[in-house]
Structure 1
């Protein structure tokens, strides 16, 4: 992961960690975690530089997993994550030129064992365009 993706992921992790109701926020899917939890991933990344400076276009995704009969809490958390990330995200060392929401989607993850809660997963995805600061 390059500097742009790493800086964007770090800024997004800090922002999502401030959301009420999440048990944890991770850089990658945890093996064991209490629901609801989120992962923040940055990539793929492509060149978005210009002749006098470096830049990158990075995809950013926040995936939230929750358990329960219905996905109400999951949907509220996805909307809260979207709102939080759209509010002046500032990756260190980079100027965020645009952060465009691409999509939000969610689904049930497989069929739960008898007596277990249904597990839901949802994601909110963005396209970020950044220029190297300074």
Structure 2
């Protein structure tokens, strides 16, 4: 993971912890044990978005949320809170500046794996994906 990805991931985790209080925990990778509901923030594919005089990155950021219950109403509400929190990401980050942050897609499905829970517990997974373009605050050279 590059500095840009790590910086973005940390900012997204902080935004979710502050702006979506209904989420039990927010992690930077799949937790070994976590109480429902929880979220995992991961930066996926990263490509060069540099220009003539500066370094840039385009990243995919995914917020995966998991919950349990017969119905997915709580997870739907938490996903809406998470989208609101992500809209409040700061433009200036440690050494990087977010130029654009665009919602790409979201999806809510029954978690087939059940997240290791007994078969009698319904588990749900929701993902919200973003495309984020960032420029380094450090001068090229």
- Which TM-score applies when normalising by structure 2? 0.89
Shift in Å, 1:133 = 1.1
Unpaired stretches in structure 1, ≥5 consecutive residues: none
Match status 1:125 vs 2:129: yes
Asked if structure 1 preserves the Cα contact closer than 8 Å seen for 2:56 and 2:135, the reply is yes
Two-structure CA RMSD over aligned residues (Å): 1.4
1:98 counterpart (89, 92, 100) = 100
What is the match of residue 77 of structure 1? 78
CA distance in structure 2 between the partners assigned to 1:131 and 1:69 by the alignment = 44
Aligned length: 133
- Which TM-score applies when normalising by structure 1? 0.93
Task: Note the 1:104-119 alignment, pairs <5 A.
Answer: 104-110=106-112, 113=118, 116-119=120-123
Shift in Å, 1:118 = 0.3
Unpaired stretches in structure 2, ≥5 consecutive residues: none
Asked if structure 1 preserves the Cα contact closer than 8 Å seen for 2:11 and 2:89, the reply is no
